[in-house]
Amino acid sequence: MHSLKVLILEDHPFQLMALHQMLNANGVFDVLTADSVEAACQTLSRRGRVDIAICDLQMDGADGLALIRHLAEHQLAAALVILSGAESCVIDSVGALARNLGLNVLGCIEKPATSLVLHQLLRRYLEQDHAELPAAGPPQYPQLLNLTTAELAASQEQWVAHYQPKVCFDGKLVGVEALVRWQHPSLGILSPAQFFPLIEGAELFDVLSWHVLDQALAFSAQFQSRTGKTLPVAVNIAPHLLQRDDFHDQVKAALERHAVAASALTLEIVETAGNTLTNQQLEGLLHLRILGCQLSIDDFGMGVSNVQRLLELPFSELKLPSEFVRGMAHDGRKAAVVAGALMMARRMSLNVVVEGVETADDLLAIKDLGHPVMQGYFIARPMPGGELIDWIDARNSAGCKQRAYA
Ligand code: C2E
Ligand code: MG
Ligand code: MG
C-alpha cells in the first residue's frame, strides 16, 4: 500500500498521531496531516490531489463538511473516509451528502480509530476499479466541450449499448439492462456521467434514447434468431420522452421493426419532480402495458413522489438503487429500507430488481429478505454485446448448480 497518498484532517493531536502511525503500519508513508480545514486546504493546494482524504467532522472553527465540499468542488480526493464520534445517523447523512457532491465515500471510522477498520478501508480502496467510478461534475475532456450540436449528433454511431445481466437466485438470467457508453475514437470508453451533460446541453437526449432502444431491440432480435430464446431487454427512458404524444406509437413501431415481442421490453423511467402526464400520455403508457411491455420505476426512493406516482402510473416493476443496497449487510438502516420496499412491492404485485449487488455479504442479506431479481458487479459488470454472449454461453455450459447464488 506504499504508493497511496493520504490526507488526515484531525484536530486532536493524539488521534492524529495514532492514525498516522496506523497508516505507516499499513505501508502508507505519503501522509499529509492537517489540524484545521484551512491547513488541509493549504496542504492540498501545495501537494495536490490525494488518493484518500480521512476527514474528521467535529472541529473548532470550520467543521469537516467544509473540507468535504472543498474536496468535491476541486476534485482533490479520489476517495473519502469519514472519521467521527457522532451518532451513526449523522455520519450516514454526511456520507449521503458527500456522495451527492460526487465523492467516492469509502466508509466511516468511528472514534477511536482501530487499525483493523483502517486496513479494511484501504483494502476496499485498492479493490475498487477507479476507471469505473462515475466522474463528478462536467466532462473532464476539454476537446469535447467545443463540439457543436451537429458534431455531437454525428458521433451517435459511437454511442454503444453495453448490457448488464439481471439474474434470479437460482442463477437464471431474466434479462439485461442496456446502458449506453460513448466509444470515443481517441478518449476510449466514456460513461454516462462523463458525457450526458454534453448530450443534455445539446438537447440530444431524445436522439440518444431512441438510438439505444433501437440497438437493444436489434440485439435482442439477433439473440433470438441465434439461439431461439428470448432475451428480455430493459432500456432507460428519459422521463420527458413520455410527454411526447407519439411516444407509445414510436415504441410500437420500433418493436415491429425488429420483430421483438412487447413482453421482451422493459422501459425504465427515473422519477423526477414535475413530470406529470396528460391523460393522453397516460393512455399511451397504458397502451404499451396492454401490448405487454413492462414499465419500471428506476432508482425507486431517490425521487420525490414515488409512492404517489406508483399509484397513478401503470408500473409493473421497481428498481432499488445501489445507494440502498451497497453495504446493506452491515448497515441495519439500509437493510430496513430494502425490506420495506420489498414488502410494499409484494403487496402491490410489483416485481423488484435490486441494483448495486457488489458483494457476497450483500447478496446473502438480500436473500434473507426475499428473492428479488439482482443486478450488480458481483454478478457481472455492464459489457459489450459480444462479451455478453460469451458470458451467457460460459454459464450455460457450467450447469445449473454452478450458476446458482445459493
Ligand atoms: P441506472 O439506469 O440506474 O443504471 C444503473 C447504474 O449502476 C449503471 O451506471 C451501472 O453501470 C451501475 N452499476 C451496475 N452495477 C453496479 C454495482 O454493483 N455497483 C455500482 N456502484 N454501480 C453499479 P451507468 O452505466 O454509469 O449509468 C448511469 C445512469 O445513466 C443509469 O442509471 C441511467 O439512469 C443513465 N443511463 C445509462 N444508459 C442510458 C441510456 O441508454 N439512456 C438513458 N436515457 N439513460 C441512460
Ligand atoms: Mg436503469
Ligand atoms: Mg437504477
DSSP string, 270-293: E--TT----HHHHHHHHHHHHHT-
- The ligand whose atoms approach the alpha carbon of 268 most closely is 2
At 136 the pLDDT is 39
Element (H, E) at 297: strand 294-298
Phi–psi pair at 162, nearest 5 degrees? -100, 165
Ligand 1, atom 21, residue with closest C-alpha? 356
Q: If you ran DSSP here, which 8-state letter would residue 239 be given?
A: G
357 Cα nearest atom in ligand 1: 18
Mean of pLDDT values over 294-311? 71
Please, what is the average pLDDT of the chain? 87
Tell me, in angstroms, the distance from the centre of ligand 1 to residue 170's CA: 24
Grade residue 308 by pLDDT with cuts at 50, 70 and 90: low
pLDDT > 80? residue 306: no
**7-11, 128-132, 229-233, 271-275, range with greatest mean pLDDT:** 229-233
Q: Which of 371, 394, 385, 395 is nearest to 231 (CA)?
A: 385
Beta bridge partners of 318: 297, 352
CA–CA dist 362, 351 (Å, integer): 19
Cβ-contact 404, 171 below 8 angstroms = yes
CATH top-level class of 5-128: alpha beta
Radius of gyration, CA atoms only, the chain: 23
Tell me, in angstroms, the distance from the centre of ligand 3 to residue 149's CA: 28
At 360 the pLDDT is 94
CA–CA dist 385, 374 (Å, integer): 19
Fold identical between 5-128 and 132-403? no
* Domain locations along the chain: 5-128, 132-403
CA–CA dist 61, 36 (Å, integer): 8
Per-position b or e across 179-189, b if 16+ CB within 10 A of its CB? bbbbbbeeeee
Ligand 1, atom 14, residue with closest C-alpha? 376
pLDDT digits (tens, 9 = 90+) for 162-186: 999 999 999 999 999 999 999 999 8
pLDDT digits (tens, 9 = 90+) for 243-261: 888 899 999 999 999 999 9
Q: Which of 389, 379, 387, 382 is nearest to 172 (CA)?
A: 379
| Backbone dihedral region for residue 47 (phi beyond 0: left; psi -120 to 50: alpha; all else: beta) | alpha
Which amino acid does the sequence have at 155? Answer: S
CB under 5 Å of ion ligand 3: residues: 298-299, 319, 321, 355
Lowest mean per-residue pLDDT among 18-22, 107-111, 166-170, 306-310: 306-310
- The ligand whose atoms approach the alpha carbon of 180 most closely is 1
162 Cα nearest atom in ligand 1: 25
CA–CA dist 329, 335 (Å, integer): 7
pLDDT digits (tens, 9 = 90+) for 340-392: 889 988 888 899 999 999 999 999 999 989 889 999 999 999 999 999 999 99
Strands 383-384 and 294-298, bridge-based pairing: unpaired
pLDDT digits (tens, 9 = 90+) for 74-131: 999 999 999 988 887 788 888 889 998 899 999 988 888 888 888 889 988 988 866 4
- Interacting residues of 366 by C-beta distance below 8 A, sequence separation 6+: 325, 328, 338, 354, 357, 372, 374
Which pTM does this prediction carry?
0.72
- The ligand whose atoms approach the alpha carbon of 132 most closely is 1
Region 132-403: CATH code:
3.20.20.450
Q: If you ran DSSP here, which 8-state letter would residue 242 be given?
A: G
Count of other CB atoms within 10 angstroms of residue 134:
10
Tell me, in angstroms, the distance from the centre of ligand 2 to residue 349's CA: 20
